[in-house]
Amino acid sequence: MLSQGDILSVASWYNTDGRVETAERYKLIEDGLGVYMIEIKPSESCDAGEWKCAVTSFEGCVGISTCAVNMDIPRNYRKPRFMESLRAVLTEEGLVSFECKVVGFPTPVLKWFKDGHELKPGDVYQLTGSNSFYNQYSK
């Protein structure tokens, strides 16, 4: 969403739950030229509804812009859920296999992390998955 206001102004964002502050999923952006934005990552069904941007200039003038956010969520949508906790298994080949079972619809995209860094398939890591069972092998 964008709102243009005076260059010397302050923007406040609101949704159906009230005032929105910068948080894990919400990033409030100001370009310094009077354009204010809110970035929502990832969006969730609770983000549907009316959103409002109130811009107040330092002279006290208020401008308000509203927007209705509609979300088309499939009826059979199911939030990703871990059916089994992550477990480490030592294979016969001496590899460590981390296994978990995840369900959801559409099929969840699973990412593996070690020490805060995403693991990518390659020489050291092998990532596999089928149905709802996922493996990460470390060599």
Q: Which CATH number fits domain 2-69: 2.60.120.590, 2.60.40.10, 1.20.1070.10, 3.30.420.40?
A: 2.60.40.10
Identify the band that residue 130 occupies on the pLDDT scale cut at 50, 70 and 90: low
The pLDDT of 101-115, averaged and rounded, is 85
With a pLDDT cut of 90, the percent of the chain lying above it is 27
Question: Phi/psi of residue 47, each to 5°?
Answer: -85, -5
Burial class (CB within 10 angstroms; exposed 0-12, middle 13-18, buried 19+) of 3: buried
Cβ(101)–Cβ(82) below 8 Å: yes
**Measuring CA to CA, how many Å separate 44 from each of 47, 82, 89, 106, 111?**
6, 19, 34, 14, 19
**Domain map (residue ranges) of the chain:** 2-69, 78-138
Which pLDDT value is given to residue 68? 94
Whether 105 and 81 have beta carbons less than 8 Å apart is answered as no
CATH superfamily of 78-138: Immunoglobulins (2.60.40.10)
Work out the burial of residue 101: count CB atoms within 10 Å of its CB; fewer than 13 is exposed, 13-18 middle, 19 or more buried: middle
Common-topology check for domains 2-69 and 78-138: yes
What per-residue confidence (pLDDT) applies to 52? 96
Q: ∠ CA(86), CA(89), CA(90), 5° rounding?
A: 155
Sign of the four-CA dihedral 113, 28, 17, 47? negative
Whether the predicted model's global pTM rises above the 0.85 cut: no
Provide the CA 134 distance to its chain's centre, in angstroms.
Answer: 21
Mean pLDDT value across the chain: 83
Q: What pLDDT, on the 0 to 100 scale, is given for residue 135?
A: 61
Residue 26 has pLDDT above 80, yes or no: yes
SS3 category, 126: strand
